[in-house]
Each structure stands twice: as structure tokens, then as C-alpha cells.
Amino acid sequence: MTLLRINGYNAGMNKPRLPLILEPDILQSHLDDNDLLVVDLCKQAVYDKYHVPGAIHVDADRITASQPPVMGLLPDAEDWSHLLSDIGITPQSHVVAYDDSMGVAACRFLWTLHTIGHTYYSLLNGGLHSWAGEDHPLSQQASEPRYSEYPLRAMNQGIADRDYILSRLADDTVQIVDTRTALEYLGEDVRALRGGHIPGALNADWSLAVDRERNMRLFPEAHLRALYKHAGLDQNKETILYCHTHRRSAHSFIVLQSLGFNDLRGYPGSWSDWGNHADTPCSDQQNPALL
């Protein structure tokens, strides 16, 4: 059973106690709760065909910015505040996000909420695959959001940029985790000016956390802990996560958060930033600590 970590609730606010990793049955029983808002990050055509009743659609392209060749950057803080207001999110809203792409878009949305200190959020375990595949109610009616006023907040929590990482390469209290495929990590699949990985980084392919036999749910907690232990992760260290554009690593951010990793940072831009700079150190060797 996946760890049911309660995420961000203040008992004094009389909010429902929802876990960070939320099962479809539990979501269905809470769809009418006040202050709960479901965000759909599937493609528009999928949303038009069917979605969780009441879900507000968000184009996944709106949750990142780009400065080619660097992709997957944080959106402008003012643009992000406008987006949250446009879809009716308030600082008190508990946001449940899902997609049909194994959770990467949904997790990137939730991580970006995390950067402004919004702590009321959950990932629908399995996303649209588990919801639709297990006979939960579906709707074709587009949901009209209620406009809100989400205050402008600094986007400065749970973030590591290139300079931050460069300053910590020799810090043994920090672990850097590359969540891409092994071929990307080893520089055999090159998607930037240079291939390889950040020196000393551990490789923990994000997709290994997803059970394709259970409607794209995360594997149970014990399996996940064994997976990350095998990859060399230490829960007591500061953990910096990256992939190519910080979508896959945002997924790992939410998974590790659910397992109790408290000192987590994501790298916006990720390898599309690091690998496209001529002066950043790169390695194509397996981390010697795991050999």
C-alpha cells in the first residue's frame, strides 16, 4: 500500500484529510468538498472526450517557460498567479492534479505550486488511467472555473538552479539524482549540446516507480523504498532532482515527498540547461559509489 502522507492540512481549518498520493475511490467520495479543485492536465482532445466530473482543464504548456534551447523553466511569477486565479485556485484550495501521461504533467503542476509555498495538494494515483479504467464517473461537460484572486508569491521553495548545484558538487550532505533513462545518464542518448550527467549524480529512472499493470499507479511503498535504496538514495540528505526539462524529475519529487524525503529541490531547465552550457562539468561514468 502506498504511503498515505497527509499533505498540508491545518486541523483548525476543518479541511478533509487527504493523502498526497490520492486513490480514485477516495477522490470520488470528496468531489463535492468545499475548497477542493481538480485540475486536468491531459490534452484538450482527451479532456473533451471524458474527464473527472468538475475538473478544470489546464494546458500543460502553460505551466512552464522556455528560452531555447533551455526548456522547462519556471513560468513568470505573475503569469503563474494569473493562471491560478483564472482556474479558481485560492491559497486555501486543496488541488488534486492528474493527467494521462503517467503523472509527469500533473506532478510538474504540483511542484510549481510547491515553489510558492502552496501545500494543499494531491496527485491522483494512476491519473485518468485508474479513474476511467475502474469505472469512476466521467463527464464530457467542460467545467467553468470560478475566478479567484491568488496573490502573487515568490517562486523560491524547493528549487535548485545551475549555480546552486555547482556550489554543492563537493558537498557530501547533498545528493544529486538524475531521473532520466540509463542511456541519457551515460551519454549514449544525447539530447543537448553535450551528453552525460552531472558529476556524482545517482541515476534513478523516474518511470521505474510506475506500475503499468495497475493502471499507471505508483508501486507500493515498500517497493519504492527498495527501488531508491538500490539507486543509492539517502533520505537524510538534501536531494536535488533533475531530468531533461524537470517534468520527469518533478514526478520523482512528488514520489519522494510521499515517502518522507523532506529536503527536496527540483532543477528547472535540468539537462536542457546544464548540457547546453559549455562550461558545466559533465560525466558519462557510473557513480563509483554504486559500483
Catalytic residues: 243
Distance CA 19, CA 17 (A): 7
Q: Which residues contact 149 (CB under 8 A, 6 or more apart)?
A: 85, 90
What is the distance, to the nearest Å, from the Cα of residue 42 to the centroid of all Cα atoms in its chain?
15
Peptide bond into 69 cis (omega under 30): yes
Q: Identify which of 274, 273, 275, 231 has the alpha carbon closest to the alpha carbon of residue 256.
A: 231
Furthest CA-CA distance within the chain: 54
For the chain, the C-alpha Rg in angstroms (whole number) is 19
Q: In this structure, are residues 97 and 121 in contact, taking their beta carbons and an 8 Å threshold?
A: yes
